[in-house]
Amino acid sequence: MSTRKQHLLSRHRRRKRLALLVALMVLAALGVLVAWWLPPLFLALGWIAHEAWFADHLFYSPQDDYRHAFPAETTQQVVTLADGHLRLGAPLAIGETLILELELQSTALGRWLDPHVRVGDDRQDFERGMRGRRYLNLSGQADALAQGELTISARFCRLPPKATLHVLRNPDYAERRMMVVAPHADDAELAAFGLYSRTSEVLIVTLTQGEIEASDYCRLGLDAGQAARLKGRLRSWDSLAVPLWGGVPQSRCVQLGYYCLQLPAMLAEPGQTFASRESGEADVRSARRHNPLVLPADRDGVPSGRNLHDDLVALLEHCRPEVIVMPHPELDPHADHVAATQALNQAVRDSRWKPELALLYANHLHDNDRWPMGPAGCGVALPPALAVLPPDALWSPCLDAEVQLDKAMALAMQHDLQGPLPLKKRLRRTIQRLLAGRHWPASGENEFFRKAVRRHELFWVRRFEH
């Protein structure tokens, strides 16, 4: 977790504790002055209300504007929302990625039920109580839009009479030679399963074993170190085996075997050794035995920033990718994700092979743990961005129902996304289903089955500086 997100979460918890203290004082007064049974009754009702409507980790005001910037060459036009349809004022420009910028405002019910907009056969959700600038993803619906047949309607929010359509044109990057960089096993599937499963020349590189937070494996009679080593072995296997479900054989998958949450320290002190925090291991070669090629760190197995750098340079020069898929350094706050992109940028600068561009993804956000909001299978609206991001182009390829199902099954194979929900989360989902109208998919209980299995994948397109 990034320092910024830790600060936001700490502030969020402080405010909750203060609100709880005030509520307890009021309830205590009611119990003394009115009736003894009122405090427990209101405590139960308050807990239910919290789980239904106030449990989301939303670290900004839902009335803040999103602030996305687009490249200067992006085609845009004003469109009219009339009679339940989107009406163009000029012929639709050529481009496969369509983003509709508009002002939305939730209704009174939209403070308790998730506001959403239906565009054609798609649905895209936003924050309860929201008001301000938002961005709908219309990618995949260009034909209906061009013919004036694309319907639009809102539930629990109000649409404006006019909006701005941004049209971005990209080649199909699946036809390029590609390297997908995953800080952990499952990051490649979460962000880019649909993309890599139709790419003929792709190398999937996973940086870490994913061995931490392994206490669940202690139920097998293992101590903490043994449980972490088992989890590292399982997730390393996932990183090599699961891509085959998307048509990528093990011969085009590489596991570097470094340790979780150590990547930032490795970059800060490249000459130092950073062993696993939980498994007790300090030799990455145990996770590399099935790799299809020999890499520089195979000489000594030292988990250091220098070895990570040399491994990435060697992979760039071996794979010679035109496109690298990697985490978005400004949007994705996970410390290992930020460090992974920093390490890639350093390796590109020092490599003899220079890729053309990066496709950036965000599997996590600083400010909103529910994005993409709404049910699985729906579109991916642009995420909250309260500070202006670099004006990168966007590319949002579409996934049909068959590919979405395959993506869900790829996630189901990941050991870190398996297992039942804790009782607290199970109760919260039941309450939210009954009172807030939320739904989760049957494919898996982990939140990523809802967030990642969508009709769109979303990438920010950024050119490398050489």
pLDDT tens per residue, range 279-311: 999 999 999 999 999 999 999 999 999 999 999
d(CA 137, CA 116): 13
Model pLDDT, residue 437: 94
Q: What is the C-alpha to C-alpha distance for residues 304 and 311, in angstroms, rounded to an integer?
A: 11
Q: How confident is the model at residue 18 (pLDDT cuts 50, 70, 90)?
A: confident
- Give me 158's structure tokens: 């109000």
Q: Which residue intervals of 206-301 are DSSP H helices?
A: 224-241, 263-268
From the number of C-beta atoms within 10 Å of its C-beta (0-12, 13-18, 19+), residue 440 rates as middle
SS3 state at 205: strand
Over residues 75-119, the pLDDT tens digits come to 999 999 999 999 999 999 999 999 999 999 999 999 999 999 999
Q: Output the CA angle 23-26-31, nearest 5 degrees.
A: 120
For residues 456 and 378, the answer to whether their CB atoms sit within 8 Å is: no
pLDDT digits (tens, 9 = 90+) for 338-374: 999 999 999 999 999 999 999 999 999 988 999 999 9
210 with 236: CB under 8 angstroms?
yes
pLDDT confidence of residue 34: 66
The whole-number pLDDT of residue 388 equals 87
Average pLDDT score, the chain: 93
Fold designation for 174-437+445-463: Rossmann fold (3.40.50)
CB 338 within 8 A of CB 187: no
The predicted structure's pLDDT at residue 117: 98
Q: In a 3-state reduction of DSSP, which class is residue 352?
A: coil
Neighbours of 6 (CB within 10 A): 12
For 178-221, write each residue's pLDDT tens digit. Answer: 999 999 999 999 999 999 999 999 999 999 999 999 999 999 99
Name, in order, each residue with C-beta under 8 angstroms of 402's C-beta and a sequence gap of 6 or more. none
pLDDT in tens, 125-154: 999 999 999 999 999 999 999 999 999 999
What are the pLDDT digits (tens) for 49-70? 889 998 898 889 999 999 999 9
Q: What are 24's two structure tokens?
A: 């307890």
| Both structure tokens of 437 | 């109208």
Confidence (pTM): 0.93
Which numeric CATH code is attached to 75-168?
Answer: 2.60.120
Integer Cα distance of 117 and 402 in angstroms: 24
